Amino acid sequence: MNAIVDVQSVEYHDNIYARYATLREQHPVFHDASRDIWMISRYDDVRRLLRHPEGTLNGETGHSYIPSLATTDGELHRTIRTAVIPEFSRGVVANLEPMIASILDELFADLTGDGEIDLYSKVILRLPQLFMTRFLGFPESQTDHWYAIGEVLMGVDPVSGEQGHPEVQLKVLDEFADMIEQVLEEKRSLPGDDHLSWLVGREADGTLTTEEVRIFANCLGFAGVDTTINLLGNGTGLLARFPAQRRKLIENPNLLDGAIEEMLRMEPPVQGLPRRLTEDLALHGTVIPKGAEISLLFASANHDPEHYINPEDFDIERANKDQLAFGFGLHKCIGQHVARLEARAYFPRLLEKYPNYEITEARWRLSHWARGFAALKIRP
């Protein structure tokens, strides 16, 4: 039974949506004994549990090693989210567009020649790294370390694989927490015109406590880069797999926003959300006991044929505003508008410079929570 799910297998990640289909059809409540986690895969179930999270907690799961906004609950979560969400509204985020455009113009200008291009390393990885470095105000002395840590946290490259051991990942998480604390301390003594300085300013004026600042800084440092890297890479792969949709987008640029939503539906950067049950959960004839960890599979829900017609078709004109790639409800991704803004800047430039690109090399990372490439090369 557990052969259906094997997050350490290349074959599993290469065929992940077929595995999700098996779960939805045959095992909508599935216990993955290898991780001791219950996987919930149907759209209606996932959305209902996101909309009504009573009886579950985001804390004390496999993702809770470092406290962040995604692993907090109750009053602590509400306090932090209320304080920071105005800074991530659609209108405020739109002011970041010139910075993103400038970075992308430089990155694409550096791509030369008509041979194989390492698009992942030269653009897809670099845009979110450079943007978030400037947006957060990371000091140059820390950036290389930050990028290296992010590579480990996104998942394992199956070609190398040495970073997949739990002891390595725990060491990296400790380094990450120490690095964030060091950067925050620097901002307290020498603030700048950046978001981490804004954040410690909320500590200084009493809006947030030191611990609340640390929690949100962890969230930004951990998720602000990885999610967008995966969105850009996954979307690039989809446009190559579905050339008729790519041509439609080139001929109708006004379809870009819908195309990005369809990318998010088809290949969510984050595959699901773990939660801990505080009471028994009865679902489809199975009782999941209090204290168990569940995984709400956004990616499987987004492919549920009971909710989407022909869900395996990539259709940039699909009505898909209810896709769950960024979650739903109280814990919906606070940086979703930033990720979309980067995507809206990236894809037009990609298609203008390489309208007929073909993928020459691609492989998925092995990850229990994310969906993204370890390598993506193209030929114009």
Q: What is the pLDDT of residues 251-301, one digit of tens each?
A: 999 999 999 999 999 999 999 989 999 999 999 999 999 999 999 999 999
Angle at 357 between CA 342 and CA 260, to 5 degrees: 30
pTM: 0.94
Residue 164 pLDDT: 54
The listed CATH number (3.30.70.580, 3.40.630.30, 3.40.50.970, 1.10.630.10) that belongs to domain 2-379:
1.10.630.10
Residue 98 pLDDT: 95
pLDDT band at 38 (very low <50, low <70, confident <90, very high): very high
- Determine the average pLDDT of the residues in 181-195: 92
**Cα distances (Å, whole numbers) of residue 290 to 60, 245, 294:** 13, 45, 10
Q: Is the pLDDT reported for residue 215 higher than 80?
A: yes
Pair of tokens at residue 374: 């370890």
Residue whose pair of structure tokens reads 């410079």 in the numeric block: 353
Q: Is the pLDDT reported for residue 187 higher than 70?
A: yes
Domain ranges of the chain: 2-379
Residue 139 pLDDT: 84
Inter-residue long-range contacts of 18-23, CB under 8 Å, 24+ positions, other chains counted: 20/297, 20/299, 20/300, 20/303, 21/303, 23/297, 23/300
Q: Is the pLDDT reported for residue 161 higher than 70?
A: no
Q: Is the pLDDT reported for residue 66 higher than 80?
A: no
pLDDT band at 163 (very low <50, low <70, confident <90, very high): low
pLDDT band at 160 (very low <50, low <70, confident <90, very high): confident
Q: Is the pLDDT reported for residue 1 higher than 50?
A: no
pLDDT band at 167 (very low <50, low <70, confident <90, very high): low
Q: How far apart are CA 213 and CA 35, in angstroms?
A: 31
Q: How far apart are CA 268 and CA 326, in angstroms?
A: 8
pLDDT digits (tens, 9 = 90+) for 97-107: 999 999 999 99
